Amino acid sequence: MEKAEILIADDEPVNLTALTRVLKDYYKVRACKSGEAVLQAVHIAPRPDLILLDIMMPGIDGFLTLKKLREHPATQDIPVIFISSLDSDDHEGQGLRLGAVDYIAKPFKPGIVLARIKTQLELKQARDHLHNQNQWLEAEVNRRVQENLLIQDVALISLTQLAEARDDNTGNHILRTCMYIEILARQLMNQPRFAAELTEQKIRTIVKAAPLHDIGKIGIPDAILLKPGKLSAEEFEIIKTHCQIGARPTRVSCPFSK
């Protein structure tokens, strides 16, 4: 397993040397002497998995360095442990409020340093795993949504073709209706009354569903639907029911549900 990358920031060479000796057998270690150097080093690949950050440093102190790390999307999730000789609740509390994950007081106790680093790296690994799982789930949901939309499109096309097969005059009528509806919808987009409702997505959905406006003709007997001559008054009343047939909710019972 590849060693984790630890970045140490302290302006005292003695502290850098001491921490490097403690960590070098377990982790890859890089060292910085200032907050400015930290803000540059974190953008050099590979990015550190964890930062040990001194509070009292010349120039940018540890608190401001952490604040800047948390403001940048690429570094905001890197765990930071403060290391300091300022052993006070105020400094520890301020560091934790800024987003530090832990606080280690000087002088260092090697066992405590190693234990706390190990704990934070395990937590980071768990967070990264959860983040990756969430990304996978999001991608899978999007894939399923696109798959369902494709199935819907295929079903609409199949129903439209079925309507065309039953009525020679329906095909061009369906095409013309789709064009008319799209033209009308786009004109209505410019009207304040409808502008909020008629979004591009809504128009695409309406146009896509338009071919089904005459789907009820599937329920009209062939003798009437395909009659070459003029319809009688009774036949005309029957063919007018295609609107009711098309609007009727579909009720499908599953033979295995009982």
SS3 5: strand
**pLDDT for the residue 85:** 78
The backbone torsions φ and ψ at residue 50, rounded to the nearest 5 degrees and listed phi first, read -160, 150
Distance CA(258)–CA(27), nearest Å, equals 63
Q: Left if phi > 0, otherwise alpha if psi is -120 to 50, otherwise beta: which for 99? A: left
The token pair at 171 is 């095909």
Segment 85-91 shows an average pLDDT of: 72
Report pLDDT for 236: 84
Average pLDDT, the chain: 85
* 5-132 and 167-247: identical CATH topology: no
Q: What is the pLDDT of residue 43?
A: 93
Per-residue confidence (pLDDT) for residue 119, from 0 to 100: 94
**With a threshold of 0.85, does the pTM exceed it?**
no
Separation of alpha carbons 57 and 63, rounded Å: 10
Domain ranges of the chain: 5-132, 167-247
Which tens digits make up the pLDDT trace of 106-133? Answer: 888 899 999 999 999 999 999 888 988 9
Instruction: Give the least confident one: 13-22, 167-176, 183-192.
Output: 167-176
What secondary structure does DSSP assign to 133-171, as a single string? HHHHHHHHHHHHHHHHHHHHHHHHHHHHHHHHHH-TTHH
CATH code for 5-132? 3.40.50.2300
Say which residue, 200 or 90, is predicted with more confidence. 200
Distance, in Å, from the CA atom of 137 to the CA atom of 55, rounded to the nearest integer, reads: 40
Q: Give mean pLDDT, residues 184-205.
A: 89
Of 247, 160, 166, the C-alpha closest to 208 is 160
CATH superfamily, domain at 167-247: Hypothetical protein af1432 (1.10.3210.10)
Higher pLDDT, 85 or 17: 17
What's the gap between Cα 5 and its chain centre?
A: 29
Minimum mean pLDDT range among 59-68, 132-141, 164-173, 198-207: 164-173
Give 134-138 contacts, CB < 8 A, sequence gap 24+: none
